[in-house]
């Protein structure tokens, strides 16, 4: 037994090492004064200065954040409505088909989402740029947010709304004073998932972005295609630190909000599709 433990620990350590090696590698060479990703010559912060002074890059970062925050806010509102809509449906069959429709965008590959949205925007006549990117981010964030909110609605005891109605609450009051406060944790995690989806997306944005407007991942792609440039390394180090900050923040938020509920892992596994 003991022997197997040693071996299995080694395997796990190896998996973790491989998972983190590229990230550490990127961060390590962001300090390389040699300018390449293979020979470390000396410590420098030059590439960080380059990143901070690159006004085009700063604008792109702001674009990305604006799109992420705005799209996840809109998506969460629509997703809350969607969860209510799915919850209202009584027949099991209709509910299942509505859910399948909801999940179509989660399981379809990004390339197809991107290509079909590109056709859609061209036909409708929406100019490619801020608006098209925003709309598509809203569109693909909705289903995951719905999936995060729905379980909270289903857990809610129907007697609560009945009681509220009996006590004379209007429909509007039932919604704003009973239902919404109960599903608030779900709405929060839905918003958060939408945020990560939006920040992480590359393929869909790449299709609908057009000329002149760019988000961070599209910019990284076009720079990476031109070869190695250490300012990308510096940028990714900053992004990594920011991500860790977000994860830690989210972790504390959720564990404090509902200790008993299932942790972060479930929806991520559910979502499955990397963006």
According to CB under 8 A, which residues from 177 to 206 bind other proteins?
196, 199-200, 202-203, 206
Decide if residue 76 touches other proteins (CB under 8 A).
Answer: no
Q: What are the Cα distances from residue 204, in Å, to 51, 61, 76, 135?
A: 25, 18, 19, 11
Q: Is 84 in the site for other proteins (CB under 8 A)?
A: yes
Residue 102 as a binder of other proteins (CB under 8 A): the answer is yes
- Closest by Cα among 80, 83, 137, 73 to 110: 137
Query: Is the distance from CB of 149 to CB of 241 less than 8 angstroms?
Result: no
Interacting positions 39-58 with other proteins (CB under 8 A): 39
Around Cβ 265, how many Cβ atoms within 10 Å?
Answer: 8
- Which has the closest alpha carbon to 139: 158, 118, 164? 118
Q: Is there binding between residue 113 and other proteins (CB under 8 A)?
A: yes
Report the C-alpha gap between 47 and 34 in whole angstroms.
11
Hey, which residues between 131 and 150 contact other proteins (CB under 8 A)?
Answer: 139, 142
Is residue 82 at the binding interface for other proteins, with CB under 8 A as the rule? yes
Q: Which residues from 204-243 bind other proteins, rule CB under 8 A?
A: 206-207, 216-217, 220-221, 224-225, 227-228, 232, 236, 239-240, 243
Residue 253 binds other proteins, judged by CB under 8 A: no
Structure tokens at 88: 């209202």
Determine if 62 is a binding residue for other proteins (CB under 8 A).
no
Among the listed residues 184, 177, 148, the one whose alpha carbon sits nearest the alpha carbon of residue 160: 177
Smallest distance, Å, CB 131 to other proteins?
A: 14
Binding residue count for other proteins, defined by CB under 8 A = 83
112 lies in the site for other proteins, by CB under 8 A:
yes
Q: Which of 26, 60, 68, 179 binds other proteins (CB under 8 A)?
A: 26
Q: Which is nearer to other proteins, 40 or 163 (CB)?
A: 40
Among 94, 163, 247, 253, binds other proteins (CB under 8 A): 247
Rounded to whole angstroms, the Cα distance separating 161 from 179 reads 8
126: DSSP letter: P
């Amino acid at each position: 037994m003991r022997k197997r433990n040693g071996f299995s620990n080694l395997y796990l350590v190896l998996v973790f090492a491989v998972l983190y090696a590229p990230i550490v590698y990127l961060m390590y060479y962001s300090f390389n004064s040699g300018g390449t990703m293979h020979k470390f010559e000396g410590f420098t912060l030059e590439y960080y200065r380059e990143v901070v002074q690159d006004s085009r890059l700063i604008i792109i970062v702001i674009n990305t954040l604006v799109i992420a925050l705005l799209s996840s806010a809109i998506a969460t509102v629509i997703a809350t409505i969607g969860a209510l809509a799915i919850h209202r449906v009584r027949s099991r069959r209709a509910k299942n088909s509505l859910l399948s429709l909801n999940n179509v965008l989660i399981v379809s590959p990004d390339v197809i989402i991107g290509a079909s949205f590109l056709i859609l925007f061209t036909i409708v006549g929406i100019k490619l740029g801020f608006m098209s990117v925003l709309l598509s981010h809203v569109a693909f964030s909705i289903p995951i947010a719905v999936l995060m909110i729905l379980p909270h609605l289903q857990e809610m005891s129907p007697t609560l709304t009945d009681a509220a109605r009996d006590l004379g609450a209007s429909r509007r009051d039932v919604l704003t004073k009973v239902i919404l406060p109960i599903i608030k944790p779900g709405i929060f995690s839905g918003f958060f998932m939408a945020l990560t989806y939006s920040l992480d997306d590359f393929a869909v944005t790449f299709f609908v972005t057009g000329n002149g407007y760019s988000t961070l991942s599209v910019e990284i792609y076009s720079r990476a295609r031109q070869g190695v440039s250490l300012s990308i390394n510096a940028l990714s180090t900053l992004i990594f630190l920011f991500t860790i900050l977000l994860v830690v923040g989210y972790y504390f938020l959720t564990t404090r909000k509902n200790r008993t509920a299932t942790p972060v892992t479930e929806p991520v596994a559910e979502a499955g599709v990397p963006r």
